Structure 1
Amino acid sequence: MPTSFFVLCCVSGFYLLISTVTFIYYWIDKRAAKAQRQRVPERRLLSLCLAGGWPGAILAHRLLRHKSVKRSYQRWFRLMIFLHIVGLGQLVTCIYQAMQT
């Protein structure tokens, strides 16, 4: 039981950290877009989402209204969320099974 709690705390902490970093990158990109400066590449933003920063990206979409309309980006972004939900489902299943034994 303590081990599974530790794993959940670590995973939650990681998601919080990478989401904060992702939100900051979206904010930097939004400012660069407004100032017509060099932008953060979409590949980097999507990589951060794939690394686990998708909650921060969702928050940035809502609060900053950034990257919330472009269809090609949204398609990839939704794929990243789907992959993480599947992965989290697998993690929860493994932890549940470990708790049962």
Structure 2
Amino acid sequence: MKWEIALLILLNLTSFALFGLDKWKAIHGRWRISERTLLLSALAAGFVGALAGMYFFHHKTRHKKFVYGVPLMGLLEIAAAAGWLVGQ
């Protein structure tokens, strides 16, 4: 169980960092991280980091696919984790 927790922490820190990096790139006129990559980072069990990054960096908070999509991914991930735990 320890490696699963470490993996979740790593995925969430990565999602958080991606949102911060994309915000920095937006401010400085650099080549951006695609929305698909940002959403996939949230889908890959990094929704907490993605949500935290969205609101900490004030990034993508006006885009409906992020405002509604990331929490929905989180609910689906929580449901999947609960189903996995019940099956253990």
Question: Which residue of 1 is the match for residue 54 of structure 2?
Answer: 61
In 2, distance between residues paired with 1:34 and 1:66?
Answer: 11
User: 3-state DSSP class of the match of 2:49?
Assistant: helix
RMSD: 1.4
Hey, what does 2:68 align to over in structure 1? 75
- In the alignment, does 2:41 pair up with 1:41? no
The runs of 5 or more residues in structure 1 that have no matched partner are 1-6, 96-101
The residue that corresponds to 2:85 in the other structure is 92
TM normalised by structure 2 equals 0.87
The one-letter amino acid of 2:16's match is F
Question: Normalization by structure 1: what TM-score?
Answer: 0.77
Which residue in the other structure is 1:15 paired with? Answer: 8
Hey, which of these two has a bigger chunk of helix by percent? 1
Aligned residues: 88
Kindly name which structure, 1 or 2, has the bigger radius of gyration based on alpha carbons. 1
The 8 Å contact of residues 25 and 31 in structure 2, kept in 1 or not, is answered as yes
